[in-house]
Amino acid sequence: MTETTSIESSNKQSSANMTVCRICENSDHNITHEVREMMLGLRTLHSYFECADCGCLQITEVPDNIQSFYPSDDYYSYDKVKAVSGIKGFLIKKRDRYAATGSCLLGKIMQRFQPHDKLPSLLYANVKLDSKILDVGCGAAHLLHAMKEAGFKNLLGIDPFNNEDINYDNGLKIEKKSIHDLTLNHESGDWDLIMFNHSFEHVFDQHDVLEKVFELLKPGGVCMIRIPTVTSWAWRSYGVDWVQLDAPRHFFLHSIRSMQLLADQTGLNLDDVVYDSFAFQSWGSIQYQHDIALQDENSYAVNPDKSRFNAEDIREFEEHSKELNRTKSGDQAAFYLKKPA
């Protein structure tokens, strides 16, 4: 879980507006959907509505007990990183440096055969090893830790829902704070890159957060937001069983249009959208269609051998995902929002 206003504040806003779109303020012909909680297998129903104008899918009302849907012993983002040493660790560092920056011949070979699936998104942000990079809502900061090991020097992670600050042996620091707690050290902004890696969909006060991002970025700096998107084959095909809808943890499931509007409203330019979905959109959603929760003992995520999928099924899902990404129809994407120079 990541940035959000207080639950009381969130509920007051959502109750007052109900099905008025929080992005474009449209209230006409919006469509309501009832969605089950299926990651933990609670199967509680949660109301979402789909804006008929901008296409944004958003929760109607944030549950009072929203924090209970993030049990710390089950939620993957809280697992602390374990460093890899020896020759394996050395090769991983080289691979990750290439994946993030496009440099290092040995890393290029490693990335080809054992690719890192998240670091390549940094290439579009044109970062360098000395770029100043902030990761918002990073949990235990698996991605930042890999970047630190790969040679990035100026990194900071923040997450107000961590139990405490984290200080890794490699010098990486993760602070227990909100983006609203950060202050400027320079009048022109501090950060070259601010990242939200599958955390922005958990943010309720999205306008306020992006206004803060605008303030913190250097002129020409980039905000990279990796999120699920309803501008996708998976949402069209699976509807409320789409695995990345993830009720009630995901407050907003954006369309391309709604992200463009949000960027415009906060002074940022939407420079690019790069789709990076994978097989999860298929096997996870099919499981939900068959009432199999993500953490069920028969889930592919828990016991692949007990699941309804074999290796060939997963390969087909992966190939389908690559094609969906190529045609800009995958169920998740990285949005690159740039502050004018």
What would the pLDDT profile of 185-204 be if each residue is shown by its tens digit?
776 679 999 999 999 999 99
Cα dihedral sign for 329, 18, 226, 221? positive
Name residues whose C-beta falls within 8 Å of residue 198's C-beta, 6 or more positions apart in sequence.
226, 227, 228, 332
Q: Residue 67 domain-assigned?
A: no
Domain that holds residue 266: 76-338
Q: Residue 285 domain-assigned?
A: yes
Name residues whose C-beta falls within 8 Å of residue 23's C-beta, 6 or more positions apart in sequence.
51, 54, 56, 58, 206, 252, 254, 258, 261, 262
Please state the length of the chain: 341
Q: Identify the segments of the chain with pLDDT beneath 70.
A: 1-18, 72-85, 89-90, 93, 107, 110, 113-114, 116-118, 120, 187-188
| The predicted structure's pLDDT at residue 187 | 67
Q: Residue 281 domain-assigned?
A: yes
Q: Residue 265 domain-assigned?
A: yes
- Count structural domains, the chain: 1
Q: Residue 143 domain-assigned?
A: yes
Q: Residue 229 domain-assigned?
A: yes
Q: Residue 144 domain-assigned?
A: yes
| The predicted structure's pLDDT at residue 10 | 40
| The predicted structure's pLDDT at residue 123 | 77
| The predicted structure's pLDDT at residue 15 | 39
| The predicted structure's pLDDT at residue 264 | 98
For the domain that residue 106 is a member of, what is the CATH number?
Answer: 3.40.50.150
| The predicted structure's pLDDT at residue 85 | 62
Q: Residue 43 domain-assigned?
A: no
| The predicted structure's pLDDT at residue 80 | 64
Q: Are strands 31-36 and 45-50 parallel, antiparallel or unpaired?
A: antiparallel
